[in-house]
Amino acid sequence: MSREILRVACLALSFFCACGKSTSAPDAGPDAGPQCAADAGPTCARPYFTKAPTGYVAGTPAPLLVMFHGYAASGPIEENFYLHFAALAEAKGFLYAFANGTPDSKGNLFWNATDACCNYENIAVDDVAYAKAIIDDMSAKYTVDPKRIFLFGHSNGGFLAHRIACEMAPRIAGIVSLAGAVWKDGSKCQPTAPIAILQLHGDRDSVILYDGGPPSPSTSPRYPSARETAALWAARNGCTGALQATGALHDLEGLIPGAETKVEAYAGCPAGAVELWTIQGGEHIPPLTTNWAEPVWSFLAAHPRP
């Protein structure tokens, strides 16, 4: 993977999203600000953003979704101008949290995910521990259903979602990775519980290649293809069947006519479903339809922890 290609692609998203509107804080949806006392841990130094639906009732367990942005973007940029999960959280009644990564020497926000993406300067930051701190803090402030904690990540954030799933599987019910990948070295992913995995990827992605990378002659560590990523999770979840087309199609990409996203799923999974959704003709930052997140949330909501 070319770091410059990834940087330019994600900065293009940042520029596109920022035009005409400040991105220093979320819009009227999620609330922003420190989420803990000054001496209480990593979420104080790195505040995150939250959205609780108006129908939330303390004492009634609610699902939680945590989102991780792409390299060189930010949580507010991806939420306010691209993903729009806050509106879905309001409609579906789930709690929502998202944060910013750590700035590198160029000011680009990154997550320390896998060796392929995107801690290029080897900065000492533990984003798995940070994700755990967000979940713990949300669980302290709200009645989070421990069986319905989900992650979503785009690009660098998708890589991080996979890493968290590898290392925190007993806490996480399911993840969705858009244009991310798991470790190329499968021995680095040894989850101790099954987990639902949705790998979502455009087959024309020129930044994080659908067929894996990085492209020659890059010397960056390699990452697996979308199919290899799904296959690793099928093995980890004990799936005995093959990856098969379900016949379902979703309309997630706003510029490609019709329902372009093909759904494939592994059969014979005793727990922890594994699906691969291919955006046929989709790029790294696909322009999303207004209701793209509904089938994605439906996948997660259908797979709570046992």
**Burial (0-12, 13-18, 19+ Cβ within 10 Å), 195:** buried
| Residues with Cβ within 8 Å of residue 30, at least 6 apart in sequence | 49, 50, 51, 79, 86, 96, 98
**Fold (CATH) for 3-301:** Rossmann fold (3.40.50)
Tokens of 289: 């339809």
Scanning the structure block, which residue is given the tokens 């991780």? 68
Residue 293 tokens, joined: 């997140």
The pLDDT score that the predictor gives to residue 174 is: 98
Q: What is the pLDDT along the chain (306 residues), one digit of tens a residue?
A: 445 444 445 544 543 333 323 233 344 355 555 454 555 578 888 899 999 999 999 999 999 999 999 999 999 999 999 999 999 999 999 999 999 999 999 999 999 999 999 999 999 999 999 999 999 999 999 999 999 999 999 999 999 999 999 999 999 999 999 999 999 999 999 999 999 999 999 999 999 999 999 866 677 789 999 999 999 999 999 999 999 999 999 999 999 999 999 999 999 999 899 999 999 999 999 999 999 999 999 999 999 999
Q: What pLDDT score was predicted for residue 30? A: 59
The reported pLDDT for the residue numbered 241 is 97
- Looking at the DSSP bridge assignments, the partners of residue 245 are 264
Q: In what order do the strands lie in the sheet with 196-202?
A: 31-32, 49-51, 95-98, 62-68, 144-154, 174-178, 196-202, 274-279, 261-266, 243-250
The pLDDT score that the predictor gives to residue 2 is 47
Buried b vs exposed e over 291-306: b needs ≥16 C-beta within 10 Å? Answer: ebbebbbebbbebbbe
